[in-house]
Structure 1
């Protein structure tokens, strides 16, 4: 470190120091200079890379903090290196108060990739916690987490890119989810949660993807088998819902509902209301025999735009394209074009132009989860090319999908052919791969093989769950080290980790991780109540 500092000073004096002059690579693992990732933390500077050897398990309670941040042009990267074809595993949480998560990202300009995150099934323990900005999580497999697999805090969280990752067997009951994202609209206005090329399946509880982010970009994913909704895109918790309009762009996904709930819920949950604009383009949306509604609107939604989607119900008849629970405010604008809708589905608005109603969308093998179109499919060259209308303009949309999603296995996504007239649905003729078999076997790389699909525990009633009275929490606490003494209390804040709305729908599970900043520790983002976070979202 001293030699590196001296060299950098000399280069600065000569005016030759590049921004990455301090960049180094630190090797972690058996026989390497560092035994754990924690051993490298005090050394990290912008541009540095930590390479962690696979086929080995490393301790969790891993906290990346503000001082471990990179810069926008020189991020810090922590990368798993496969050994014998296996990722490095990170498992375990701390024993101190507030240390009940596996990895905390209280950091900015940071890349974390190539790991397997293994939970212990304890419903008080969270997997990954996002509390930074410009963070990339890539090529991860997260499973067995008893609380949230990935959790974004409502306060002090900015943009996050999640890509090419698999989540399964995470969550608990109604309020803990496989992926639960939020952004701070005051500290990081305009933040984006982008999720792309991911495979999320077989949840143990909650929704597969729940987000309170200011903007969601859900692109080219395969999402199936949530206990409740596959997508739950709603408003903020703990912040003024009029700070921003929360919008969602949902393009090129396969979304499969196997329990009795809806594929997607949009708008509000009794805690936060988006009043937002929602855009669904070229998705393949599959209702199971016990699910009746593809998209559920709740409270206030400004617009719902639908283009080139396949909405099909397998193993049953009837159902609705959409419904609207507890409507508030102006009637939502619903518009779009060239969707294929299965015969018998109702609530298909007349404002959707060019709708094709049919009995068979012409999938290669729907029973085998292969939703690519056959060469005689009515989906072929039936899509609209104009998918950004002026009715309720969407800022910077992805006009048409440019990839196809992973086919129930990581790494099987790929470019989508760009024909002059697109096919309807998530696939273009001849694109994509034969789907793999879903698995929730702990410790296995599910992108390779496994058992057939299994659903999570399904609710026993058709009634929407409602939230009870709001739980309370103790005072927020500030972490002081990555494994040191117990943090002291913050003077500024009590934790609000989920004000569960008491009205409507399947209730608000809330994600208010209100932390504020400690007057006793300037420069540190407080991690108040992360330990309480999961508990506040459960009944």
Structure 2
């Protein structure tokens, strides 16, 4: 006896459910992002209309989600609320993409209230803005996870250290496998660090990481060491910066990551403090510093390492130093003074292909031979 299964039923048995797009907004059936978080399925896309969503917090447990602002950014303001006492959004699912969202105002009793607390595996954040939280992004320590942040801004995520004895950071990445930060504007973390990462591999490429009006501590802190590539970044310490050091490497005792290599290539570091340190290598790691433009009273390297063709100068020949425009003017001492940076010990090219373009973008770097020192190739002073 043959049993015939209707075609539609057969498809449902053999194929996963199709992904859906859920629309969120004041004029929609789903009024708030948290409404979508309760009904979304793995693989869905949630599109959030522009506007303010005050006090709306959510936990996202689904996998393969895309969470996106529709046109102009959707603005999530904590207004005293938090999900699980942690963040505006707690993301527990894997392979999640967040785009075009603004997160602000997260504050919790444990003093680490974040715009996003990420507890899953693999996260991508694009064109987002995190500001005035205790932490911008705070992640767990998943050794299988990769995190990419690009084209996003982080600023003024902080805790009152003098009152609470605890630091708030713009970005705090746990002990994951790989962290990539590119084409981002990260600034003014106040008493905390602008970028802190415990990842096994770190790629900080073509960003503007600056203390402009505040008093942040490290610009970049990599306390566990690891393989790190810091290439083509614009870095600045203000007169009020809390720490002498711009880049701190392997500063914690365990230094738990197996590989210990730091490559700092073609960065521009402007130190407007009375004195400063570009890189402080706390361990026995291999630190290589090439073609960096160091402006002000700067110690290029504290601790062991190798240096080639770095330039220390009181004035970099910039288009507008006061406005943080560190592109090169004709006659800059950085023009044509560099060297081919070559490859890392693991075969990664160290030559900068791009340069940061403000805000939140990058552009192809003009090829010159010999290469210009610093984050920008001379382009006529435009």
Q: Indicate the TM-score class for this superposition, using the shorter chain for normalisation.
A: 0.7 to 0.9
Please tell me whether residue 138 in structure 1 is matched to residue 126 in structure 2: yes
Displacement of 1:115 in angstroms is 0.7
Q: Are the aligned partners of 1:159 and 1:183 in contact in 2 as well (CA < 8 Å)?
A: no
Deviations 1:16-65 (A, max 9, x none): x6x8x712211100212311222223543454211100123254431112
Please tell me whether residue 220 in structure 1 is matched to residue 206 in structure 2: yes
Distance 1:379 1:160, change over 3 A: same
Provide TM-score, normalisation by structure 1: 0.62
Q: Are the aligned partners of 2:99 and 2:128 in contact in 1 as well (CA < 8 Å)?
A: yes
Q: Are the aligned partners of 2:264 and 2:292 in contact in 1 as well (CA < 8 Å)?
A: yes
Q: Are the aligned partners of 1:64 and 1:106 in contact in 2 as well (CA < 8 Å)?
A: yes
Please tell me whether residue 294 in structure 1 is matched to residue 316 in structure 2: no
Q: Are the aligned partners of 1:177 and 1:208 in contact in 2 as well (CA < 8 Å)?
A: yes
Q: Which has the higher contact order (CA 8 A, sep 6+)?
A: 1
Which of the numbers 311, 316, 321 marks the counterpart of 1:340? 311
Residues in 2 aligned to 1:115 and 1:98: alpha-carbon distance in whole angstroms: 20
Q: Are the aligned partners of 1:50 and 1:78 in contact in 2 as well (CA < 8 Å)?
A: yes
Displacement of 1:418 in angstroms is 3.2
Q: Are the aligned partners of 1:165 and 1:199 in contact in 2 as well (CA < 8 Å)?
A: yes
Following superposition of structure 1 onto structure 2, how do residues 253-332 of structure 1 map, counting pairs within 5 Å?
253-258=233-238, 259=241, 260-270=243-253, 272=255, 274=257, 276-298=260-282, 300-313=283-296, 318-324=297-303, 332=304
Displacement of 1:369 in angstroms is 1.6
Residues in 1 aligned to 2:138 and 2:121: alpha-carbon distance in whole angstroms: 14
Which of the numbers 72, 89, 93 marks the counterpart of 1:107? 93
Displacement of 1:232 in angstroms is 0.6
Residue 51 of structure 1 corresponds to 47
Which of the numbers 410, 414, 417 marks the counterpart of 2:360? 410
Provide TM-score, normalisation by structure 2: 0.85
Residues in 2 aligned to 1:380 and 1:183: alpha-carbon distance in whole angstroms: 39
Following superposition of structure 1 onto structure 2, how do residues 176-215 of structure 1 map, counting pairs within 5 Å?
176-184=168-176, 191-215=177-201
User: Aligned Cα RMSD in Å?
Assistant: 2.8
Deviations 1:303-323 (A, max 9, x none): 11111110111xxxx441122
Q: How many residues align?
A: 363
Displacement of 1:120 in angstroms is 4.8
3-state SS of paired residue (1:405): strand
Query: Runs of 5+ in structure 2 lacking a partner?
Result: 1-5
Q: Are the aligned partners of 1:88 and 1:116 in contact in 2 as well (CA < 8 Å)?
A: yes
Residues in 1 aligned to 2:9 and 2:237: alpha-carbon distance in whole angstroms: 58
Distance 1:154 1:28, change over 3 A: same
Residues in 1 aligned to 2:365 and 2:11: alpha-carbon distance in whole angstroms: 47
Following superposition of structure 1 onto structure 2, how do residues 162-173 of structure 1 map, counting pairs within 5 Å?
162-172=149-159, 173=161
Residues in 2 aligned to 1:148 and 1:159: alpha-carbon distance in whole angstroms: 20
